[in-house]
Structure 1
């Protein structure tokens, strides 16, 4: 079994078409077919069901592909580890987040301390972050819902209260606290579906006994605050975002029932090699949120 055979097999498995795979690999189609046939002979089982040039992974092929992808991931991680140990670059970190409002201050502070580290960040949903961790495409994710998986670690960083924002003149604006069921008939201005905070607030409403009516979905807390101020609905907001919503006329209501809190955490894959820069980032993030939690006490 040769490394090149495995590369060819991976491409054919992804495209499920011999001609298209040969074009991508820039080799002759008969040569590709013979390479796959030799691999199957070495393994003693067919990996594809064939219909002309169209092929489809069978049960053997799917099982073998999972192993091949793990092997390639380990080789790539080994290359990254050696480059890090040899000092071939100053360090790079890839980060996915579902809480974009924390990025400027957090990342700015980190880069001030470690100016030679290269940072790449993505705004992703919880399900996308889980997939990226499983595939080894990112070093870390920061989310408000735990990311779970056999190779995934998720460390809680801080827990904060979630409030309800209502516009000036709202029937509840003179109150300090409410039970969530009291706003079951209101229109909600909400985060986009699929993001951790939206999943969390939908769960709050279900626990209170209703399904929220969503009149607007977005991902910018200040825009959400403006829409609430205009009387277009009410909105959940975590304590971390309150200081960043510059709408002094909005009324913040504490929610008595159910308990509304979110826990922010840092996730990473045990299968991915963490560079020295990544270890520095891991500690920096933990210290950053510890400081925020202390300041809020």
Structure 2
């Protein structure tokens, strides 16, 4: 049993598709099948159930995958720790973003001005919260979202405002009750996005189900559609930016209280490189400049 075979098994187990796994690993499918067959022969246990062209990880395979994940991650952690000890850091941070924010480019640019040797791999996750999560050093998300095995600290609690076209009937108001929008058409991110889950819950608390007229993948598209006068939208006051120009008005929501807390998370059972530690500290300080909505109120 060698490390390469374990890495091949890990990929096949996660994809449950030999063809896709072979493409990802850049080897031929027959060669990959031979490696998996040899591993099963060595273990004297079938790890996959096979039906024609399809394979499915069985209970034995699931148990083995859990151990393989731990073993390979432990070896990777050991490598990173040795490089840090030798003062030859990898200079790479895997940054998992679960909330959209126009702040991230500036934040990373400011950090790299101080630490130009550090590189970033940015991951974005559009699947629902029941899906598997990628390996990362640090994750930015909004509570109460929580990835198993991680620890989190809050960075900022921001107000979620209502963005309306400048000719909207409520555009001259400083604040509104959310229930006043029960008949309006909303523009929102697609289901599965953290902000969408939060704002749907707020509407339900106000006694109605929002009528969605446009659903988008990116915050920038939501903002553009509101600027075009096509509907109203929820608007996180800090992470989505400030003024949207004269064509859009931002209004506070007085009932229910509409806020969300942005957090930074990391795995507690994995080694954190010096580069990741420096970036985590930098992110905490970076967000302090925006204050905290709960304290302001």
TM-score in terms of structure 2 length: 0.82
Q: Which residue of 2 aligns with 1:91?
A: 91
Q: Which residue of 2 aligns with 1:37?
A: 41
Q: Which residue of 2 aligns with 1:77?
A: 77
Given the alignment, which residue of 191, 195, 206 partners 1:197? 195
- Give, in whole Å, the separation in 1 of the partners of 2:233 and 2:160: 10
Deviation string for 1:146-187 (max 9, x for gaps)? Answer: 432441112111101111122223211222211111111101
- Give, in whole Å, the separation in 2 of the partners of 1:84 and 1:140: 18
Q: Which residue of 1 aligns with 2:68?
A: 68
Unaligned segments of structure 2, at least 5 residues: none
Q: Which residue of 1 aligns with 2:171?
A: 173
Deviation at 1:46, TM superposition (A): 4.8
Within a 5 Å distance, the mapping from 1:170-249 to structure 2 comes to: 170-218=168-216, 221=219, 223-241=221-239, 243-249=241-247
- Please provide the CA RMSD for this pair: 3.3
Aligned residues: 288
- Give, in whole Å, the separation in 1 of the partners of 2:53 and 2:234: 54
Contact map agreement 2:129 2:192 (CA 8 A) in 1: no
Contact map agreement 1:125 1:195 (CA 8 A) in 2: yes
Q: For structure 1, which segment, 74-83 or 246-255, has the greater mean C-alpha deviation from structure 2 after superposition?
A: 246-255
Contact map agreement 1:144 1:263 (CA 8 A) in 2: yes
- Give, in whole Å, the separation in 2 of the partners of 1:245 and 1:72: 47
Cα 1:253/1:25, change in 2 over 3 Å: same
Greater gyration radius: 1
Q: Which residue of 2 aligns with 1:293?
A: 291
Cα 1:107/1:51, change in 2 over 3 Å: closer
Which has more helix, going by share of residues? Answer: 1
- Give, in whole Å, the separation in 2 of the partners of 1:227 and 1:126: 23
- Give, in whole Å, the separation in 2 of the partners of 1:11 and 1:225: 38
Q: For structure 1, which segment, 150-159 or 241-250, has the greater mean C-alpha deviation from structure 2 after superposition?
A: 241-250
Unaligned segments of structure 1, at least 5 residues: none
Cα 1:26/1:229, change in 2 over 3 Å: closer
Q: Which residue of 2 aligns with 1:271?
A: 269
Q: For structure 1, which segment, 146-155 or 214-223, has the greater mean C-alpha deviation from structure 2 after superposition?
A: 214-223
TM-score in terms of structure 1 length: 0.82
Deviation at 1:24, TM superposition (A): 4.6
- Give, in whole Å, the separation in 1 of the partners of 2:110 and 2:50: 55
Q: Which residue of 2 aligns with 1:256?
A: 254
Contact map agreement 2:100 2:219 (CA 8 A) in 1: no
